[in-house]
Every structure is written in structure tokens, then in C-alpha cells.
Amino acid sequence: MSIRNAEEQPFLAEAPSSLKFDLASGELRGVWPLRDPSGSRLELTVVSVLGQTLDQFALITYQLRSVDYRGLLTVSNHLTMPVFGAATDDPRQPRPIHTLQVSATQKDAVSETMRIKAPTSGQQITLKLACQDGLDRVQPIVPEQVLTRAVIASVSRINRQASRKRVTPDALQADAKQFWTDFWAKADVQIEGAPALNRALHFNLFQLVSSAGRGGLTNVAAKGVSGVGYEGHYFWDTEMYMLPFYTYATPDIAKALLTYRYHVLPQAKKQARIVGVKDGALFSWRTINGEEASAYFPASTAQFHIDADIAYAVDRYVQVTGDETFLHACGLEIIAETAKFWLHFGAWSPVDGKQRFCFFDVTGPDEYSAMVNNNYYTNRMAKHNLSLAVDWGRRFPEEAQQFGLDDATLTAMAKAAAAVELPFDAQLGINAQDDEAFKKPIWPFADTPKDKYPLLLHYHPLTLYRYQVNKQADTLLADYLFDDVPAVS
């Protein structure tokens, strides 16, 4: 939005005097003082709300009050491409985007559209801005007078035209209010005596719901809707850290996110062949369109556990919701294809005089320990994935055979699952993160300056890989997920 005085000089915003977010209605309200070069003042109030069932639309209401300005005022709303961040090696931070193709905008008196395309994937969306008062409005204003304008923004589904549906500001506000009222009625959590913690918890629940794709063709970007770090790619975080919440609180969203994985199964099968596995599917570690987008395979593609993470989430969703319709339409095939990957990726190898089913050169959740043998988390998840295929395959044998789960394959999977190697250190009495984890020296924490954290931004990966140092929970995550396996494998 741009605001100009009678001389076409811009009013510039100062620091906001008020910012309020109503979690009950999804309404964000901010107030900004504005001043032009001559010192004349306006006050701008912006109230924004996102449609929920009307999830392609957003309402932005602008209220301009003149503090002491008198004269003509030009108010304009147009679509522009923002510039994100500066060049950086930190993948968590936003970086400039140079690859998107923006088509010429189409304008009329009350609306404007813009098409944005990612040339590599071929995916595109259409943005639209509409205001019944006109996108450019010139009007006189006097002190204490208030001008109000409601602008409706919309975004198309991927590779679709902008919606032709007509929505009103009142309808969008009512839609958001009803959605959030229903959500909090079934998903609210209160911690007595901790108002600050309550606010933080509620804000995070709101962000989780707001960040999730809902059409079955998108997932959850790594930074949600708060930024473009990691270029908006999807990771295993969805299935292992967010899907449990969605499954219990918003099962429709959980189903949509898992349906996205089903839609990229063809790319996952292709990825399995790329890494030399003759059957099954390997989901890409970092992706939007299903193809691997990471350039550093030791800490990305080698995290094969994403297959088992997705299968785990599918099973959890079905067990919690009882949605066997989804299981037959999408879930069983996902479980079957990921299990076939493990069966053909793993290898029988002697361990302490016994033949064990092992997984070599993998990376677990701890990305500071890459390309290791028998990562405990990976192996435990693979064991579960294989067992899921056996359980569901034997429950629905005719359907399972369509996905390659014949009786011989199920028998082989059951045998492999029972013999998966789970590293254990007898001297320490705990599960080992991998075959070599406890043989490495411990990272010199006492000699590491505080400004050298996170370590990945200051030390070469080949340095980190030589030490006992964890980026994130690995073996402990497996222990959290499963309590049915004794410490000694």
C-alpha cells in the first residue's frame, strides 16, 4: 500500500504504536503513525484476517485517520514482489530469490492479477487483489476524518487459475471466526498459573494450523508462514514433529498432508532407483515437487529414515482416526513402497556371530554424524516400517498384492524386521547411536567459544563427523517413540 499527499509525496510509516493479535478470531490489528516530508500526520490502522474454509482468500481492511493533514490523499494497493534477505551461507535464513518468473500483471479499475512461476518445477500460482473502491483512490481528507477501504487478496491452487468465487469482507470475517472458535473448542490447552507460557503455547498452536497445506498438493514449509528460510521446502519435520498434533486436533489437515506424500510417490520411486535400490520408494529429504532439492547428500538424501517416518505417520493417523478409506486409497501403498525400499536397501551381515539385517552408510536425525553404519534411529524406524507392511499386508492380502506385497515378500519382510540390528553398548548399558559412535573422541566443548554455535556454521562437516557431538536428538527420539524393545537387541 502506498499513500501520497497532494504533491505526490509519500507518507512514510514510523514504528507501530500498537500491534494486537486475536487468536480467537484470527484477526491481526496494527496501528502505525504516518508522516509526509512536510510533517503532516496520518494514523493507519490495518486489520487482516485469513479465510479458513475460504482458504484461498484474505481480507485486509485499511483505516486512515487524518491527525492534522488537510488536502487530497492518493491511496494505492498493487501487487509487488518482495525482496527477501541477503546472500548468506546459513540455510535457515532467507536468501534472495532470483529464479521466480513473474508474468505481466493484468489490471482493471478494481482488481489486479499476477502469475508467479517456478521454471524448474513448472509449478505456478496466480495472485489477485481486488477492491470495490478501486485499487487507486484519490479523495480529500480533513483532520479527524477516517477513510476505510477493504481489500481482498486471493491465491490460486497450484497450476490453477485464480478463483472466480465472489466473497465479501463480512463472509471472510465470519469464516475465520467460526473456524477458530471450533478449533479452540476442541484443541485448547491451558496451563494454570503461567499466562506467558499459555500465550506462547496458543500462538504456536495457531501457527501450526495456519502453516499447513490443506489441498493434498502442499505440505508444511520449513519456516511455516513466518519466513522463506530453506526456500520453503518440506522435510521430515512434518511427519515426526507436527503430524501427531494434526492427527489428534485437526485430522482433516493431517490427511491432506499425508495425501501430499501419496501424490509424490512417483518421484519417490524414481529417487529409490537413483540411489541404486531396485524396488520401493525413497521420499526426498528436501523437496516441494517430490524431487530431491538438497545439494549435500551426506546430511540430506542419506537420511533414509524419512521413509519410515512417513509410514509411521500414516499408521498413526489411521490408528487414531479409524480412517481406513484413506488407508486403502493412499496409506497402504505408501507403507508398502517404503517397506520394499528397506527390504532391498538393507543387507544381511554377521554381528557377534549372528546374521543381522543391517543398514550401511546412512545418516540419522543427528546430522553431525553422517554416513554411519546401523544408525539406531534409522534401524528402529525401518524395523517398524517393515512390520507395518507385514501387519497391514496380511490384514488386506488381496489389496497388498497389488503393491507387491505377496506372501513371499511379507515373509521376507517379517524375517528382516525381526533381525534388524539395534546397536547396544554393553559396557555403558545403553543403546549406541551407531556402530562407531562411542569410539570417537568427545567434542571439546570447554574450548569452543559461544559465538561458534551453531557448530555447522563454523566448522567443516568433516570436522564434526569425527567427534561425539549431536546436532539433535537421535537415539533418544527412537526411545521416545517406542517402548516395546528392550535395551539389549
Whether the Cβ atoms of residue 452 and residue 443 lie closer than 8 Å to each other: no
Task: For residue 399, give every residue at least 6 positions away whose Cβ sits within 8 Å of its Cβ, in sequence order, or none.
Answer: 328, 332
Gap between the Cα atoms of 437 and 370, Å rounded? 11
Closest CA to 96 of 191, 278, 228: 228
Cα-Cα-Cα-Cα dihedral of 77, 79, 85, 86, to 10°?
A: -120
From the list 387, 489, 471, the residue with the least C-alpha distance to 432 is: 489
Measure the CA–CA gap between 82 and 86, rounded to whole angstroms: 12
How far is it, in rounded angstroms, from Cα 239 to Cα 470? Answer: 21
Bridge partners (DSSP) of residue 13 are 34
367 is catalytic: yes
The enclosing H or E element of 146 equals strand 146-155
43, 367, 398, 399: the active-site residue: 367
Cell of 206: 495457531
How many residues are given for the chain? 489
* Residue whose C-alpha is closest to residue 12's, from 3, 23, 22, 24: 3
Cα–Cα distances in angstroms (integers) from residue 143 to residues 42, 61, 67, 460, in the given order: 9, 20, 5, 61
Known catalytic residues? 367
